[in-house]
Amino acid sequence: MKAKIVITPKKAVLDPQGKTVQNALEHMGYTGVTGVHVGKYLEIDLAPGTDAAAARQALNEAAHRFLSNPVIEDYRLEIVD
Amino acid sequence: MKAKIVITPKKAVLDPQGKTVQNALEHMGYTGVTGVHVGKYLEIDLAPGTDAAAARQALNEAAHRFLSNPVIEDYRLEIVD
B8-67 pLDDT, tens per residue? 999 999 999 999 999 999 998 888 899 999 999 999 999 998 899 999 999 999 999 999
Report the pLDDT value the prediction gives residue B61, as an integer from 0 to 100: 93
Predicted TM-score of the model (pTM): 0.91
Question: What is this model's ipTM?
Answer: 0.89
Q: Which domains does chain B carry?
A: 2-80 (3.30.1280.10)
Chains A, B: CB contacts under 8 A, how many?
105
**Are B39 and B73 contacting, i.e. CB atoms less than 8 angstroms apart?**
yes
Partner A, chain B 8-67, Cβ-Cβ below 8 Å: 8, 18, 21, 24-25, 28, 30, 32-47, 50, 54-55, 58-59, 61-62, 65-67
Report the pLDDT value the prediction gives residue A31, as an integer from 0 to 100: 86
**Helical ranges in chain B per DSSP H:** 16-27, 52-62
